[in-house]
């Protein structure tokens, strides 16, 4: 018995508010984090070009194909931005919130359904995975919908055609979304055997379960093969957690939140039915069926996961999304058991705690920023190599997004797997004909794929830039390699000695009004630079000496401070200049000077004998004419 309960109009308004809250929490910061490794793998698997090709590719993965087909079709509508890609999971996550209201209503009543929806809407675990280009949010949604239609199916002697068809379709979709979702069918079958009567209802439900099995049967041989490959030859992207106290704390916070004591109290309260009659409080355990269903769902899945993880890699925090709806149902029922004042107070506590704390959030490497360190200084046609384990799935996405689909890239991991003992000779052949390339590299430890840095040196390359982004204490490098040269274009010296040598340069872009040109410079320090110098690249009107365009700053936009340069080591630098739209016809000079910011009027002097600048304060790179 529920006292007080929400009437139909109140329930509708509350549900709309909860759904709006769920949408806001899932859309907030949706595109902020980079795609992580598994999201990048999703894009590789779902690339197509056709749906049959995706299904065939999935047969060699470890997951069923439905989500990957769905995200392939979704990309045609929403595009390939992080925000657009993740919106599919956001929408399915919102549907789960609406669905658990219906499931909670069927199992424990309207009030419990509303409160279960609120709990799921606020769940950081569900929010986080609803912002992922993965199949977990879809799995949770189909779990909820399958269970809702299951309870609709068994509650009447003659369920509607929509209920029967809906149950089969939604349950089949669940199995084709994620194999872990199949656990709820164990719950449904056990609940059928123990609680569903009369017999013709039991028979009716079993018939529909068989229909689901028949619909999934064509994929069973594929699933069996995937399972054999997964455990006989574990895939390199398995990343399960060990059975440790730290792991259990992570799972606890994800499932129950920082306020886990309150959550567990309400969950325990949800095991019974509380009646308030004539000033008395009575506890009842009947009807037992719905409570048993939710408890078995939670406890059995958790126990099986922990047990199996002792022998096989199985336990991840995200896999526990399977039981998040069960927790929401029990917590919703526990809150519904309370009288209105206490219930309102605890709901307020839940809302405040949920909106002001983060219980769980995946730490996704900042591959967008790492790739941008290349994009910012990348020249067309330069390959991007990647030695970042499966992070290359994400980086290849960002390479295509930021530099274009025709930008060449090479996965060190995949190439080493493919060529095995011939990997280093192949890599030498690959880089031998290049002028420059980039390498995304994780950390400062030697590569597990051998000393290919020696291969680069053997081919005549030297590392000329090393911008990085720090992630969890590790540096994610964007190394650049250039071919060495003995040429010297000019030198820059102070009062006593040469400090820098400009070895070579390149100018890219149209030298026309309104265009942006890129000046690429290769430097060496002749001595250890005592200061952090700045570089000025500029355009002058040759006749008047008027400055018309300029870019000043430390080399590589501050990512290569000169005080860190090693004498004799090549350093890559790049500057972009926007030519004015109203640049008049005439002769112009592109020049470069080096100075210390505190002494801008006393720049380093160039070797005037090697270039034609009017002043030894700077060197002329190029002269051009605007007609």
pLDDT at 602 over 90: no
The answer on pLDDT for 364 being more than 90 is: yes
pLDDT of res. 272: 92
3-state secondary structure of 306: helix
**Is the model's pLDDT at 526 over the cut of 90?**
yes
Given a cut of 80, is residue 614 above it in pLDDT? Answer: no
pLDDT per residue as tens digits for the range 79-122: 999 999 999 999 999 999 999 999 999 999 999 999 999 999 99
What's the rounded Cα separation, in Å, for the pair 124 and 614? 65
Q: How far apart are CA 309 and CA 609, in angstroms?
A: 73
> Looking at residue 278, what is its pLDDT?
67
Least confident of 5-14, 63-72, 494-503, 518-527: 5-14
Q: Are 107 and 326 in contact (CB under 8 A)?
A: no
More confident site: 448 or 313: 448
Order of all β-strands in the sheet with 490-493: 570-578, 516-525, 498-508, 490-493, 605-606
Q: Is pLDDT at 465 greater than 80 in this prediction?
A: yes
On the question of pLDDT at 551 being above 50, the answer is yes
Residue 436 CB-half CA count within 13 A: 21
Beta-carbon contacts of 39 under 8 Å, excluding residues fewer than 6 positions away, are: 85, 132, 133, 134, 393, 394
Mean confidence (pLDDT) of the chain = 94
> What is the mean pLDDT of the segment spanning 183-197?
96
Share of the chain above pLDDT 70, in %: 96
Q: Residue 496 in 3-state DSSP?
A: coil
CA distance 20 to 204: 37
Give the right CATH number for 490-626 from 3.30.565.10, 2.60.40.10, 3.40.470.10, 1.20.120.450: 2.60.40.10
Nearest Cα residue to 252 out of 241, 264, 242: 264
Integer Cα distance of 287 and 188 in angstroms: 16
Return the minimum-mean-pLDDT range out of 202-206, 373-377, 533-537: 202-206
pLDDT in tens, 17-38: 999 999 999 999 999 999 999 9
User: What pLDDT score does 199 carry?
Assistant: 86
Give the burial class of 280: count Cβ atoms within 10 A of its Cβ; 0-12 exposed, 13-18 middle, 19 or more buried.
exposed
Task: Please tell me the number of Cα atoms within 13 Å of 167 on its side-chain side.
Answer: 27
Check pLDDT > 60 for residue 611: no
Cα distance between residue 238 and residue 234, in whole Å: 7
Give the pLDDT score at 237.
46
Q: Which residues pair with 95 in a beta bridge?
A: none
Label residue 595 by pLDDT band (50, 70, 90): very high
Whether 453 shows a pLDDT value over 60: the answer reads yes
Mean pLDDT of the region 518-539 = 97
| pTM: predicted TM-score of the whole model, two decimal places | 0.92
Which whole number is the average pLDDT over 539-565? Answer: 96
Q: How far apart are CA 3 and CA 576, in angstroms?
A: 70
One DSSP character per residue, 365-416 reads --HHHHHHHHHTT--TT--EEEEBTBTHHHHHHHHHHHH-TT--EEEHHHHH
The predicted structure's pLDDT at residue 607 = 81
Reading the block at residue 531, the tokens are: 């200061």
What's the mean pLDDT in 441-451? 94
Q: Residue 3: pLDDT band by 50, 70, 90 thresholds?
A: very low
Instruction: Please give the pLDDT value at position 613.
Output: 54
Structure tokens of 512?
């026309």
Q: What is the pLDDT of residues 380-406, one digit of tens each?
A: 999 999 999 999 999 999 999 999 999
Q: Where are the domains of the chain?
A: 8-356, 367-483, 490-626
pLDDT of residue 2 exceeding 70, the answer is: no
pLDDT of res. 136: 98
pLDDT digits (tens, 9 = 90+) for 137-186: 999 999 999 999 999 999 998 899 999 999 999 999 999 999 999 999 99
Mean pLDDT (whole number) for 514-534: 96
pLDDT at 7: 67
Cα 416 to the chain's mean position, in Å? 25
For residue 436, give the nearest of 535, 520, 561 by alpha carbon. 520
pLDDT of residue 134: 98
pLDDT-derived band at 610 (thresholds 50, 70, 90) equals low
Q: CA angle, 214 as apex, 211 and 215 as ends, to 5°?
A: 90
pLDDT at 4 > cutoff 60: no
Tokens linked to 277: 């009659």
């Amino acid at each position: 018995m529920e006292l007080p309960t929400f009437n139909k109009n109140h329930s509708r308004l509350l549900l709309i508010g909860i759904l709006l809250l769920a949408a806001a929490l899932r859309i907030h910061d949706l595109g902020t984090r980079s795609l992580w490794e598994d999201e990048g793998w999703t894009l590789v698997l779902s690339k197509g070009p056709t749906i049959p090709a995706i299904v065939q590719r999935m047969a060699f993965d470890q997951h069923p194909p439905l989500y990957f087909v769905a995200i392939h079709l979704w990309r045609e509508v929403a595009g390939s931005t992080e925000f657009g890609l993740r919106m599919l999971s956001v929408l399915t996550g919102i549907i789960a919130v609406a669905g658990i209201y219906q499931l909670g209503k069927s199992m424990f009543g309207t009030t419990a359904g509303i409160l279960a929806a609120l709990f799921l809407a606020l769940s950081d675990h569900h929010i986080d995975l609803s912002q992922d280009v993965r199949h977990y949010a879809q799995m949770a949604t189909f779990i909820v919908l399958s269970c809702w239609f299951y309870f609709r199916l068994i509650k009447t002697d003659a369920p509607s055609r929509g209920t029967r068809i809906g149950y089969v379709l939604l349950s089949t979709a669940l199995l084709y979304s994620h194999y872990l979702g199949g656990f709820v069918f164990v719950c449904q079958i056990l609940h059928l055997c123990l609680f569903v009567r009369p017999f013709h209802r039991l028979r009716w439900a079993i018939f529909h379960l068989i229909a689901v099995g028949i619909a999934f049967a064509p994929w069973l041989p594929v699933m069996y093969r995937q399972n054999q490959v997964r455990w006989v030859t574990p895939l390199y992207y398995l990343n399960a957690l060990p059975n440790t106290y730290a792991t259990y704390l992570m799972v606890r916070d994800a499932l129950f939140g920082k306020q886990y004591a309150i959550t567990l109290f309400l969950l325990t309260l949800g095991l019974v039915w509380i009646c308030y009659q004539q000033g008395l409080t009575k506890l009842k355990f009947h009807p037992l069926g719905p409570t048993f269903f939710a408890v078995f769902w939670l406890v059995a899945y958790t126990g099986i996961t922990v047990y199996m993880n002792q022998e096989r890699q199985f336990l991840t925090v995200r896999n526990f999304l399977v039981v998040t709806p069960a927790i929401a149902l029990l917590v919703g029922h526990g809150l519904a058991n309370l009288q209105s004042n206490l219930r309102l107070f605890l709901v307020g506590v839940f809302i405040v705690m949920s909106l002001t704390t983060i219980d769980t959030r995946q730490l996704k490497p900042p591959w967008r920023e790492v790739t941008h360190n290349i994009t910012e200084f990348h020249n067309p046609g330069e390959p991007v190599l990647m030695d970042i384990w499966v992070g290359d799935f994400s980086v290849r996405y960002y390479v295509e997004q930021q530099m274009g689909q025709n930008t060449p890239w090479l996965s060190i991991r995949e190439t080493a797997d493919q060529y095995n003992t011939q990997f280093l000779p192949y890599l030498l052949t690959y880089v031998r004909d290049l002028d420059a390339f980039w390498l995304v590299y994780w950390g400062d430890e030697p590569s597990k794929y051998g000393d290919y840095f020696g291969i680069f040196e053997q081919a005549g390359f030297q590392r000329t830039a090393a911008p990085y982004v720090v992630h969890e204490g590790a540096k994610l490098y964007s190394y650049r390699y250039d071919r060495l040269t003995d040429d010297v274009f000019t030198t820059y010296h102070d009062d006593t000695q040469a400090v820098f040598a400009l070895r070579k340069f390149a100018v890219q872009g149209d030298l026309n009004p309104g265009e942006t040109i890129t000046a690429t410079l290769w430097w060496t320090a002749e001595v250890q630079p005592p200061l952090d110098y700045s570089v000025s690249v500029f355009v002058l009107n040759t006749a008047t000496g008027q400055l018309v365009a300029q870019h000043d700053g430390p080399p590589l936009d501050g990512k290569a401070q000169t005080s860190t340069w090693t004498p004799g080591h090549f350093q890559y630098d790049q500057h972009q200049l926007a030519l004015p739209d109203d640049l008049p016809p005439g002769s112009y000079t592109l020049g470069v000077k080096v100075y210390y910011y505190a002494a801008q009027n006393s720049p380093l002097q160039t070797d005037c004998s090697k270039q034609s600048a009017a002043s030894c304060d700077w060197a002329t790179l190029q002269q051009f004419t605007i007609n």
